[in-house]
Each structure stands twice: as structure tokens, then as C-alpha cells.
Amino acid sequence: MTLLELQKTLKEKVRSKASEICGEPVSEVAVEVPPKTEFGDIAFPIAFELAKTLKAQTGEKQNPRAIAESIKSDILEFDFVEDIQIAGPGYLNVFYKRSLLLESALEDTPGTVKGIEKQKICVEHTSVNPNKAAHIGHLRNAVLGDTFVRLLRAAGNQVEVQNYIDNTGVQVADVVVGFIHLEKLELEKIKALDRKLTESGKRFDHFCWDLYARVGVEYQHNEDLLSKRAETLHLIEEGDNETALLADFVATRNVECILETMERLSIRYDLLPRESEILHLHFWQKAFELMKEKNAIHLAENGKHAGCWVMPFESHEGSDEHENDKILVRSNGTVTYTGKDIAYQMWKLGLLGLDFKYRHFTDYQNGKEVWITTADESAAEKTAVSYGGAARVYNVIDTRQSYPQQVVKKGVALIFPEKGEDASVHLSYEMVALSPAAAEELGFELTDEDRSKSFIEMSGRKGLGVKAEDMIDRLEENAFHEVRERNPDLDEPKQREIAAQIAIGALRYFLLKFTKNTVIVFDFKEATAFEGETGTYCQNATVRLNSIFRKLGTEALEAALGSVPSRSKEFSKLFGEDDGNELWSVVILALRLEETIHQSIAQSEPAIIAKYTFNLARTSNLFYQKHRILDEPDPDKKALLIAVAETARKALTSALSTMGVSIPERM
């Protein structure tokens, strides 16, 4: 029996008894985790609730402690319950049978859910404009998204990961303008440049990063170049010309670079849907028809939106003109970004009635394939799976896009009321900004006004930001120095491998430990720390446990774990002794992993699993420091210590893997 099942059973028992006491059905029973292990393993504040209900019924004041007392006897008979105490003003605190739960903890692999595949869920994340390298803000998106995917999968869901490629937007056009009009390069020359960059260990996306910033500067005093931008954008959208081919090469190369960067962080995708296909396969036209059919959209006849097709954002009566109407088709007949997004969202939910064509894009080292969309019939390949058509869609997009995301959600719900707004979830998060000190460290000159700010927004257009690759390289280098010092006996490739694992662990944890709506004000010192509340700390706690087991040997380990059921009586006794609570707190925390994963999903908040993992590592380190497992003379005690260490090791390994953090052999 898992902790969640046990909790459910207890809740039901309390609920039925509570209904009996107050004479009317009680719907939901609240549960809490007591602040200290000594107070018990699960607490029901039900008596306070009942006292209120009874007072309302009879007008008489009731003592919550007395009510709690009357519920107590019913639960006490249950197998897994050791004791129940009435504490404080009337808490019903339940103590589990520790040795019994330890046994089930060793049987179950925590965090993995057996059973049937649930509905298909689609998660879109990363979606970096393919005109430059990714920066740490994009990493926050990707790490949040990837971790959320891992959480969903750990909970038994079927998940498809999409990385949307906006390959026909102005941002790509800007870099293309840079290549053609500033660098004076045509396609073949750009390809040669790309080869030269690669040979000298430089990156194409970093070249584009600088070029994009240069174009931005030029625009400010070069009217002529600005007109080239509109021209270029038009040619790219139209397709089938030299500029479009050049743009396609640039965008595709940037996508390849970004995918490389993300794979360093173990972030992978199933499908790359592109904006060009949404255009060329006429997704919008289809969505437009559907919207007109359902009267979700209308043509504004007068006012400032005259000649545009608009969607009413708030329900309103009377005139056809409204402040909050959202324009989906401009008066010149072209569709806005939000319009295309509605069509794309409908496809994701399987509501559009059209599909992309696909071709194989690339393979990951682990053999997994990435596919990309195409409009080209002759290039299309047969897919092994069908994409899109998800029951629920999560879009990982920063909070600044809350408004357009809400329009998309409402738009889809207007056309398909039966699907509703709940099928589209905007997983929104705050941005990563730079501290003024960090911006100066990157070599940017700040005005006095900038310096007085608490943070400075990153800007691709200005080239202001910490590039993802630079960040990872820096972390790896720092980690490598430490690893080399601590493990001089290892060869350099091994040291590098471990350093990479530590760097990624530190980076992913750093980006996950903040809750979504906290602005991360990036600071190099904090972000590169390997001590304190870091991914490194969590990895180290696990490595230490692993090293105990390595010294112990597989046979001795299995023998100890195998003997657990037969030592049940001795374990009960040991759990009751001085350090029993402290040993038990490791086990019960490890058992809460499954519950934590569910919580993290329900609240769409990956920080919950991160904080949990750190807590578990801390509890485990405390245990590690206090007990000498290998030197323990008492065989019963030794078996117990091994079993406790094993539950912690399993839960830590599983929790870290859910965060995409791997565990080095040594560190």
C-alpha cells in the first residue's frame, strides 16, 4: 500500500464518521502534514470544522477535543495505524505503523505510477525565435517545460513535446536583412561561413546573436534598411524565392544549434511545428471558417477597427465596437499572430480538421527521433505516430504573453464550447532579468537610471543577455576544477563527464527552485554556487548513499533488505527508541514523493518537487552524518539503517530524475 492509498483510506474513514456525528454528509476532509514527526504522520483538523457545524445546528458550543476523541476509536482499528493522539486545540494526529510502511517503501519504486495510460497531453515549450542563440531566459522556459513533462510522465500520462518554430516572423527577417545588406552574403557564402565557424569551434547561433544586435542598432539611423525589413518579411512569407531559401537555411541552422544546447540539459522534443506550415497549409483559413460559422468572430463596420475581423474578448451588448475586441484579421486581410495561434491551438486539441505533413528532422544520441512539419508533399514521410489531438494542452510561455494566451484559450472555447477553456492551460512564468552588476559584468555600459533599477530586462534585440552555452561552459569549467582537485585519480574524460553532470544539475535546480511568478534576478555568484540549496547538494547526498552501498556490496545489501520483513518486531522497537523519530522522518519523507509529484502537477508548479528534493537531501545528509552504517555492530540496527538509507536513495534518485538531474558515480 502506498502512502497516497493509505491516506485516501483514512480520509474516507474520517469522512464517514464525521458525517455520522453531524448528521449530514461531509464532502471533503482536509488533511495536513504535522510540523514535526513527533506530532504524527498525518493530521486531521476535522474537529474544528465539526464544532462549527454543530454550533450552527444546535446553537451550543462544542469542544473540538471531545469531538476528535469520538472519531479516534474508529480509525484506531485500522492495520496501518499504530496510534492516534488528540493534540493542541483538537487535532487528530495519526501515527503509522513504521515497520510496516518501511516494508512497502522498499517494495514500491517511488514516483512511478503503475496502471493504465491516461489521456494524451501536449506540452509546448522552448519556442525560441530561430534567429539567434538561446539565453538563460529561454533556459528557464525549457527547464520548466521539460520538468513538467517529466512530472506528467512520472504520473503515468502520455505526453507529446512540441517546440514551436516561428520561422517566418520579423525576428528571422531581421537577421536575414543583416546577412544580405550588412554582411553582403548570399546563401552559398553563408554556408561557407557556417562551415568556417564550425571548424574553428565557434557557433552559428552566436554569430547571429551579434548580427541581430547590429541590425537593431543600424535600424535606428538607417531608414533604407528598415524598408528592406518589410520587403524581406514579405518575401519570406510568400516563399519560393531566394530570400526565403536563405531565411530557411538561417532559421534551420539556428534550430539545430538551439536543439544542441537543449540536449546538453537532457531536454528533448518530439515535434517541431513551424509557422511556415501553418501559413502554407492554410490552417488559419480553416479556423477562420469555423469561427465565422459559430459566430465567434465578426467584421467591424465602423470605429477604429473598421474593416477588421475581431473577436469580442469580453461579452458585451449593443454596439459592435468595443475596447477589448481582439483583432484577428487586419483591414488589409492579413492574419495576426494571435489568429494563427488559435488555429495552431485547435490543431493541438484535434479540433481543426487539418493536419501537417511531416518529415524526419534529426536523431538524438539516445536514439529518439525528432520530427518537423513540412508543406512539401514530395519531402513528406510517413510518421509512426500521430501528432496533436491532445485532450489537454499546456503552453509554457512567459507571463508577458498572458493576454494573447487568454485570447487563444477563449477563442478555442468559443468555437468548441464542449471542449471548454480547461483544455488549454497557459503555464506562465516570470522572466529572468539581469542584476545591474551582472549586466556590467557582461560588458554593457549602464546609465545611472539603469543602475538604480532592481533589475534589467534581457533583450535579444540589444544583444543583452547571458547566452545559454556560455552559462553551461562556465559552470562546467568551475565544476571541472573542483572535480579534478577532489578526484585526482580519475582520468580527464571522466572528470569532464562528472563536471558536466554537476553543471547541468546546478543549472536546472537553480532555475527550478524559484516559484513561477518570481522574477529571477540573475546573479553570477548565486547561479554558479555549488554549496547550500543547490542541485549539487542534492546530487552529493545521493552519491554518498550510493557509495555506502558500493562498499557494502550487492550481496550484503540484498541480504539486509531481504531480512526486513523478518525483523519487523525489532524494527518497531528501534523506531521507538531515541533516534527512532529521526530515522522515521527519512522514510516518511521519502514516501511522500508520489504525493509531491501530484501536487506539483495540480498546481503546475515544478518548484514544489525541487524544494522537496532539497529537503529530502537535507534529511538524508543529517541521517548520514549521524549514523555509521558500515560500522554498526547490532545486526538489527544495521539492517534498519540500510533499509532507511535505501528508501532515501531510491526517492532521491527518482526525484532528481524527474527534474532531469543525473547522478554522478563520484564527485
Partner RNA sequence: GCACCCGUAGCUCAGUUGGAUAGAGUGCUUGACUACGAAUCAAGAGGUCAUAGGUUCGAAUCCUGUCGGGUGCACCA
- Report 351-410 residues binding RNA (CB under 7 A): 399-404
Sequence-distant (≥ 6) Cβ neighbours of residue 619 within 8 angstroms: 585, 586, 589, 648
> Judged by CB under 7 A, does residue 198 bind RNA?
no
- For 461, the grid coordinates are 534585440
Among 250, 521, 587, 588, binds RNA (CB under 7 A): 521
Residue 550 to residue 584: CA distance in whole angstroms: 24
Task: Tell the smallest beta-carbon distance from residue 627 to RNA (Å).
Answer: 5
Residue 410 to residue 588: CA distance in whole angstroms: 43
H-run or E-run covering 647: helix 635-658
Q: Which stretch binds RNA (CB under 7 A): 17-25, 352-360, 381-389, 518-526?
A: 518-526
- CB closer to RNA, 334 vs 566: 334
- For 434, the grid coordinates are 539581469
- CB closer to RNA, 521 vs 651: 521
- CB closer to RNA, 265 vs 479: 479
Among 200, 365, 554, 625, binds RNA (CB under 7 A): 625
- CB closer to RNA, 259 vs 520: 520
Among 211, 629, 652, 661, binds RNA (CB under 7 A): 629
Residue 497 to residue 587: CA distance in whole angstroms: 32
Q: Which stretch binds RNA (CB under 7 A): 165-173, 282-290, 363-371, 655-663?
A: 165-173
- CB closer to RNA, 493 vs 532: 532
What is the DSSP secondary structure assignment for residue 290, as one 8-state letter? H
Residue 94 to residue 83: CA distance in whole angstroms: 6
- CB closer to RNA, 198 vs 518: 518
- CB closer to RNA, 18 vs 479: 479
> Judged by CB under 7 A, does residue 75 bind RNA?
no
Instruction: Kindly identify the residues of this chain, within the stretch 463-492, that bind RNA according to CB under 7 A.
Output: 479, 482-483, 486-487, 489
> Judged by CB under 7 A, does residue 563 bind RNA?
no
Q: Which of 546, 550, 542, 523 is nearest to 661 (CA)?
A: 542
> Judged by CB under 7 A, does residue 89 bind RNA?
yes
> Judged by CB under 7 A, does residue 519 bind RNA?
yes
> Judged by CB under 7 A, does residue 497 bind RNA?
no
Please state the φ and ψ torsions of residue 243, each to the nearest 5 degrees: -65, -40
> Judged by CB under 7 A, does residue 279 bind RNA?
no
Residue 515 to residue 606: CA distance in whole angstroms: 8
> Judged by CB under 7 A, does residue 124 bind RNA?
no
Please state the φ and ψ torsions of residue 425, each to the nearest 5 degrees: -120, 125
- Interface with RNA (CB under 7 A), residue total 99
Residue 667 to residue 544: CA distance in whole angstroms: 9
Among 104, 109, 338, 657, binds RNA (CB under 7 A): 338
- For 150, the grid coordinates are 517529466
Among 43, 165, 396, 574, binds RNA (CB under 7 A): 43
DSSP strands (E only) in 292-440: 298-299, 309-311, 326-329, 357-363, 369-374, 392-398, 424-429, 432-434
> Judged by CB under 7 A, does residue 540 bind RNA?
yes
- CB closer to RNA, 154 vs 589: 589
Residue 542 to residue 618: CA distance in whole angstroms: 11
Sequence-distant (≥ 6) Cβ neighbours of residue 337 within 8 angstroms: 169, 404
CA distances from residue 63 to 11, 15, 51, 90, 255 in whole angstroms, order as listed: 22, 19, 7, 8, 66
Residue 128 to residue 131: CA distance in whole angstroms: 8
- CB closer to RNA, 120 vs 264: 264
Among 309, 347, 394, 514, binds RNA (CB under 7 A): 514
- CB closer to RNA, 99 vs 168: 168
Task: Tell the smallest beta-carbon distance from residue 308 to RNA (Å).
Answer: 5
Task: Tell the smallest beta-carbon distance from residue 132 to RNA (Å).
Answer: 13
Q: Which stretch binds RNA (CB under 7 A): 40-48, 177-185, 186-194, 364-372?
A: 40-48
> Judged by CB under 7 A, does residue 611 bind RNA?
yes
> Judged by CB under 7 A, does residue 630 bind RNA?
yes
Tell me how far apart the 2 most distant CA atoms of the chain are, in Å. 89
What sign for the dihedral angle of Cα 35, 40, 41, 46? Answer: negative
Task: Tell the smallest beta-carbon distance from residue 618 to RNA (Å).
Answer: 5
> Judged by CB under 7 A, does residue 515 bind RNA?
yes
Among 225, 529, 556, 557, binds RNA (CB under 7 A): 529
Sequence-distant (≥ 6) Cβ neighbours of residue 639 within 8 angstroms: 560, 563, 564, 567
Among 356, 429, 537, 571, binds RNA (CB under 7 A): 537
> Judged by CB under 7 A, does residue 614 bind RNA?
yes
